[in-house]
């Protein structure tokens, strides 16, 4: 697994455990006792992406892969890949915006350097 994927999964787990919804926190704590940390972190990423992207019940988050059912998930997954954002990041739009801004800044800086 890539470093950025591990970091994104850990972030998803941390954010879920810090939620105000104590029933969700208890659910995740219970899952951690019965399942692998990876499986629980993937569940948390799924949950956080649905919340962050305000998806409807029939829409699927980018963490589920590249299958497009018309939800626009494929476009979001492509944007994430292009920006170098893990498909497991709990806040895909925010992460893409930050990564794209950094890429633009790097491109601008490189183009303004004097030889």
Q: What is the pTM of this model?
A: 0.81
In 3D space, the residue among 85, 93, 87, 3 whose CA is nearest the CA of residue 46 turns out to be 87
Per the structure, the complete domain to which residue 39 belongs is given by 3-112
CA–CA distance, 7 with 65 (Å, rounded to integer):
18
Helix or strand holding residue 105 (H, E): helix 92-112
pLDDT tens digits for range 7-61: 999 999 999 999 999 999 999 999 999 999 999 999 999 999 999 999 999 888 9
pLDDT tens digits for range 62-100: 998 755 555 555 778 888 989 999 999 999 999 999 999
Structural domain tally of the chain?
A: 1
């Amino acid at each position: 697994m890539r470093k950025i994927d591990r970091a994104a999964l850990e972030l998803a787990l941390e954010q879920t455990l810090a939620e105000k919804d104590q029933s969700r926190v208890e659910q995740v704590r219970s899952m951690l006792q019965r399942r692998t940390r990876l499986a629980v972190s993937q569940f948390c990423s799924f949950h956080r992406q649905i919340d962050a992207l305000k998806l409807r019940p029939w829409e699927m988050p980018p963490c589920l892969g590249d299958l497009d059912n018309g939800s626009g998930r494929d476009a979001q997954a492509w944007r994430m890949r292009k920006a170098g954002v893990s498909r497991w990041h709990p806040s895909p739009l925010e992460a893409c915006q930050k990564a794209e801004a950094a890429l633009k800044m790097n491109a601008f800086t490189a183009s303004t350097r004097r030889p």
